[in-house]
């Protein structure tokens, strides 16, 4: 992983440990990292952290976001409520690459209880390295935007 993207991270308690590992890896790779928390392993509600990360991405304060909870499901449901956010729950590197290339996903959701740290790091690498292909995919993403309420 190497790059200089502005990446904002958030989690709940069930994603806290994995978030810490991914934040460290992203910083070491040279990305500009913002960790909205939690900063201690205490019980919190995932929609609160999904909101902070989603707003940072939607408002252009970050290029990409990463959200980690137990399964990644609650984070992805929450993040996709925000206009301008296209959150993808990814279990494989291929999904992460395709989510960027075809869907222009701007938030990656991961589940600490689902994906081990090595795989999660590889998924993050793939997500940060890939770019949107545009073309016919841009037409479709424009339709997603047009359907936002």
The residues that touch ligand RB5, with contacts defined as CB under 6 A, are 12, 14, 46, 69-71, 73-74
Q: Which is nearer to ligand RB5, 46 or 82 (CB)?
A: 46
| Residue 124 C-beta: closest distance to ligand RB5, Å | 18
Q: Kindly give, in sequence order, each residue whose CB lies less than 8 Å from that of residue 38, ignoring residues fewer than 6 positions away.
A: 11, 12, 13, 16, 44, 49
49, burial (CB in 10 Å: exposed 0-12, middle 13-18, buried 19+): buried
Q: Which is nearer to ligand RB5, 3 or 117 (CB)?
A: 117
102 is catalytic: yes
> What distance lies between CA 50 and its chain's CA centroid?
10
Preceding omega of 38 cis (within 30 degrees of 0): yes
CA distance linking residue 97 with residue 108, whole number of Å: 11
Tell me the residue nearest to ligand RB5 as measured from the CB.
74
Residue with tokens 């991914």: 22
Q: Which is nearer to ligand RB5, 69 or 99 (CB)?
A: 69
Catalytic residue among 13, 31, 90, 102: 102
Q: Which is nearer to ligand RB5, 58 or 73 (CB)?
A: 73
Catalytic residue among 69, 90, 109, 137: 69
| Residue 73 C-beta: closest distance to ligand RB5, Å | 4
Answer yes or no: are the C-beta atoms of 109 and 90 closer than 8 Å: yes
| Residue 141 C-beta: closest distance to ligand RB5, Å | 25
Instruction: Return the active site residues.
Output: 69, 102
């Amino acid at each position: 992983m190497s790059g200089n993207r502005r990446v904002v991270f958030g989690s709940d308690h069930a994603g806290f440990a994995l978030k810490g590992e991914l934040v460290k890896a992203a910083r070491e790779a040279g990305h500009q990292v913002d960790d909205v928390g939690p900063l201690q392993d205490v019980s919190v509600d995932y929609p609160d952290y999904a909101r902070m990360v989603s707003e940072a991405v939607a408002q252009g304060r970050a290029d990409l976001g990463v959200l980690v909870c137990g399964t990644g499901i609650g984070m992805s449901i929450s993040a996709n409520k925000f206009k301008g956010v296209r959150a993808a729950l990814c279990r494989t590197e291929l999904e992460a690459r395709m989510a960027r290339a075809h869907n222009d996903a701007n938030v990656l959701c991961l589940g600490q209880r689902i994906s081990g740290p090595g795989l999660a790091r590889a998924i993050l690498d793939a997500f940060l390295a890939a770019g949107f292909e545009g073309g016919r995919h841009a037409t479709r993403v424009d339709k997603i935007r047009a359907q936002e309420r």
